[in-house]
Amino acid sequence: MINQGSLKPVQSLPVHSGGYTPQIVAGQTAVWVLTPSGLARADPATGRITAIIHPGYAPSAMSAPALVLDAAGRLWITGSLLTVVVPGTLTAYPVAHTPDLISAAAAGSAIWVESGSALVRLQVDTRRPRQPAARTPGT
């Protein structure tokens, strides 16, 4: 992270690139950086790295992982395993085994992933599950 006034580094995260360029996505309250070392959450207000998540992708996969932020604030990480980080959590949840994803893009609350032979739209339902209707005695 670079101080806007002095243009000097304030905080750094040493990473081994693994042969690809780290992915950077700016959200409403954080900047996210994906490297082979993990997914780092940086707080732009303090200039500090506040968390590192280990998403579980294989850096040796055929293509470099992508980091995508959708309109709902979810972070999607492509690679050998498609994972999602839901706002308010610091856990990467597995969604699907996807060994040949090439790229991903967000459109509204959906994410599009491309494997070279197929383009797939993923729509995640974020509504709370409906509670079953209360039963009254004798019914």
pLDDT digits (tens, 9 = 90+) for 1-54: 777 789 988 777 666 666 677 888 988 888 898 887 788 888 887 777 888 888
All domains in the chain, ordered by first residue: 23-123 (2.120.10.30)
Give the model's confidence band at 60: pLDDT under 50 very low, under 70 low, under 90 confident, else very high. Answer: low
Residue 105, pLDDT score: 85
List the strands of the sheet with 119-123, edge to edge. 103-107, 110-114, 119-123
Span 75-120, pLDDT tens digits? 888 877 788 888 888 888 888 777 667 778 888 777 888 877 888 8
Task: Give the integer Cα–Cα distance in Å for 57 and 93.
Answer: 11
- The residues, ordered by sequence, that sit 6+ positions from 24 with a Cβ below 8 Å of its Cβ are 31, 32, 33, 34, 67
Distance separating alpha carbons of residues 25 and 32, to the nearest angstrom: 5
Determine how many CB atoms are found less than 10 A away from the CB of residue 45. Answer: 8
